[in-house]
Amino acid sequence: MKDGTIPEHLRKYEIPERVAIVRGGGDLPKLSVRTNWSTAEIYLLGAHVTEFQKNGEPPLLFLSQASHFAAGKAIRGGVPIVFPWFGPREGRSQHGFARVTEWEWEGSSAGLDGTVTVRFGLPEDAARADGSPPSNVTFTVTVSDRLTMELAIVNPSATESLSFENCLHTYFAIGDIAEVEITGLQGTAFIDKVDNFARKSESAAAIRINSETDRVYLDATGTVEIHDLKNHRKIRVEKSGSASTVIWNPWVVKARQISDFREDEYKQMVCVESGNVAQNKMSLAPGESTSLRVVLSSQPI
């Protein structure tokens, strides 16, 4: 795509009036999806969902206006796929190599009800290039009046176990962080990364964010809701195959330190991430598989 053209072999899974591959930011290839209820955009880089918007509503996902769109660089916002580790690793990519690898578009389909599903595969040589153990990883996105994402991982080894962390690192667009409440985590233990990784227990029924927040909630399998009071809507995060929930907002000082993030954008976003990290890290026996499934929906309040 150096000249900005779409290779013809990438067009074979297009569906007229439903799924098209087009040029995105930095001339990167992305899928444009349209249904009866909504629109979505997904980049092949990272199999990264950058947009989901229901007809007549504000966007559900936040995307930084300062985001990089370049091969080998993560997109800031949307739903980055974190795999096979969460957080930093010395000399290696933050949050793993999956989000900075171009995935293979493996197919698309449209249901009789208008629902659209697209499927992606992580190239087998991505793990080898990183020096990581082999894994078979697929990502399926279903677009309707809600956004459903499923990250499936298989251990292809006949003899070795596969250990990893995974996460759908979802950035939500909100009206004003000062008018947001997050519910569904009361009584859950968490790691407070801002407070020197202290172990705490969530006492609040409705979490309010008024400073830098970076928390890993452990053994948290339930649904979380974001009450966006300024936009008069409630966002529901339902999940399965996930034992961790992460809440993140960089706030003032950290936002200024992030090169691909505008310093005032922390007011219009909050991350509520679903996955298996820290003590909830996963291990698959030879031939074993697992699936992380997240369903995002919204309704007026």
Known catalytic residues are 169, 273
Q: What is the Cα 143 distance to its own chain's centre?
A: 15
CA distances from 84 to 43, 63, 159, 246 (A): 20, 23, 19, 16
21 HSE (CA, 13 A, CB side): 25
The answer to whether residues 110 and 81 touch, using CB atoms and an 8 Å cutoff, is no
DSSP 242-271: --EEEEEE-HHHHHHH-TTS-TTGGGGEEE
The answer to whether residues 120 and 138 touch, using CB atoms and an 8 Å cutoff, is yes
Q: What's the token pair of residue 138?
A: 């697929």
The answer to whether residues 218 and 280 touch, using CB atoms and an 8 Å cutoff, is yes
Beta-bridged to residue 202, according to DSSP, are none
- Torsions phi, psi of 30, nearest 5? -140, 155
The answer to whether residues 220 and 252 touch, using CB atoms and an 8 Å cutoff, is no
Q: What angle do CA 133, 139, 140 make, to 5 degrees?
A: 160
Entry field: residues in the chain: 301
CA distances from 99 to 72, 75, 82, 153, 253 (A): 9, 8, 6, 15, 25
> How far is 280 from 290, CA to CA, in rounded Å?
14
